Amino acid sequence: DRPQRVPLEHGDVVVWGGPARLRYHGVLTLKQAQHSLTGACRYNLTFRRAR
C-alpha cells in the first residue's frame, strides 16, 4: 500500500488498533508556532492494556 498523508490540526485525535497497529506510521514535525495552552509542544499518548 502507498503511504497516505492525513493532515492533523490542534485537537485532533488519531486512534488505531488491531492489525493496523503494526503499520508504519509517523507524524510530521511541528510548524514554528505557539499555542496558548501548550506553547511549542506536542503531546503523544500511548495506551496499552496489560494482560
Encode pLDDT of 6-46 as tens digits: 888 778 888 888 888 788 877 777 777 777 887 877 788 88
Q: What is the mean pLDDT of residues 2-6?
A: 81
pLDDT of residue 3: 79
pLDDT of residue 2: 80
* Residue 10 burial (10 A CB sphere; 0-12, 13-18, 19+): exposed
pLDDT of residue 44: 80
31, HSE (Cβ side, Cα atoms, 13 Å) = 6
Number of compact structural domains in the chain? 1
pLDDT of residue 46: 82
Q: Which residues contact 6 (CB under 8 A, 6 or more apart)?
A: 14
Domain range enclosing 41:
1-51
pLDDT of residue 15: 84
